[in-house]
Amino acid sequence: MVKIVDVARLAGVSSATVSRVLNNVPTVDQSLAERVRSAADELAYRPNGVARNLRRQRTDVWALIISDIENPFFTAVARGVEDVAREHGFSVLLCNSDENRGKEDRYLQVAEQEQVAGVIISPNMRGSDVARLVDASIPVVTIDRTVRKPVDSVTVQSRRGARGATQHLFDSGWRRPACITGPDYAQTAEDRLQGYLDAIARAPRRMTQGLVRHTDFQEAGAVAAAASLLDVPDPPDAFFVANATMTLGVLQELAERGLKPGRDVGLVAFDDAPWARLTDPALTVVAQPTHEIGATAGHLLTERITGSARKRARHIVLSTELIVRESSLRHR
């Protein structure tokens, strides 16, 4: 069996240097690291993972806990996380909490018991308790939402993106935009609602007083929300919808009533789902940098694991982009 000392002898370095390279310690000189990896490949060296984990009390696995695996936003985020993890020699265990606090708590418990190297989590809508991980000195990074504990986070400018989307509807000639958002206890739902209300406040009062519906972040709830808005005496002539999954419900209700986006109503969605450009007409969206969110979280976690991050929690806020397509442009 090939041992670390054999790799060290071939590479012309110490066994300690080999160990640091194989454990992805970033302070090792790049030329030395390349010699070590080349020697390890030549000798077909395979580290004893069980023994190494017993020494380090950590695995080479990250736990990625997301709140809705069916949401394409999280699929793209997961790819960003996985790309960075692989680059630094880690594997990713994907966990889907379904916005269920019980499931999420179970995954957090497993992450602690298995001594994962770190956790990236999309907190549930009511707020996640990551205290057990913090107490166990397991690095944590949150995405999409934040938690009360002082841990690193990656979010986007949801409020600004929603404000720009609603203002775009006004600029495109729509006069009475409505907002369909998530539950009022969900941070992202409230941020996007506040952005909508910011734009409403800037508009002349004669244009609109604002029409808002809260529902879950699911398709069925959005169908009911859109129906209730369209049934009021003075219905909206446009919609800002706070995520892509709910937008499918709005599109379903519009189709049921024979209303076409861009002709009869304006429509902007938060999130650029893979199908958004394929609808008829193509859907205007507030695009989040999904891969960048995941990759940034991965880099923050790597720095925590290697000890190269500053002590104070870091909060990275990324920009969104309004992508204008036909659904929001007024055509008569």
Q: What is the mean pLDDT of each run of 10 residues along the chain (332 residues)?
A: 85 83 74 87 72 56 92 92 94 92 92 92 88 92 93 97 97 95 93 96 68 93 96 94 96 96 96 94 97 97 90 95 95 64
- The domain limits of the chain are 4-47, 57-156+289-318, 158-288+321-328
DSSP helix/strand/coil, 131: helix
Per-residue pLDDT, 55: 42
Q: What is the pTM of this model?
A: 0.79
4-47 and 158-288+321-328 agree in CATH topology: no
Per-residue pLDDT, 54: 41
At position 314, the amino acid (one-letter code) is R
CATH class of 158-288+321-328: alpha beta
Q: Is 316 exposed, middle or buried (0-12, 13-18, 19+ CB in 10 A)?
A: middle
Domain 57-156+289-318 has CATH 1.20.120.530: no
Per-residue pLDDT, 210: 63
Per-residue pLDDT, 170: 94
Domain 4-47 has CATH 1.10.150.120: no
Query: What distance in Å separates the CA atoms of residue 303 and residue 291, rounded to the nearest whole number?
Result: 18
Cβ atoms of 271 and 244 within 8 Å: the answer is yes
Per-residue pLDDT, 262: 94
Per-residue pLDDT, 328: 96
Per-residue pLDDT, 50: 44
Residue 136's CB: how many other CB atoms inside 10 A? 13
Per-residue pLDDT, 208: 54
Per-residue pLDDT, 206: 54
Sequential DSSP letters for 307-324: T-S-SS--EEEE--EEE-
DSSP letter assigned to residue 287: E
C-alpha torsion 286→242→74→160, nearest 10? 50
Q: Over 215-247, what HEC string results?
A: CCCCHHHHHHHHHHHHCCCCCCCEEEECCHHHH
Q: Which of 247, 250, 265 has its CA nearest to residue 173?
A: 265
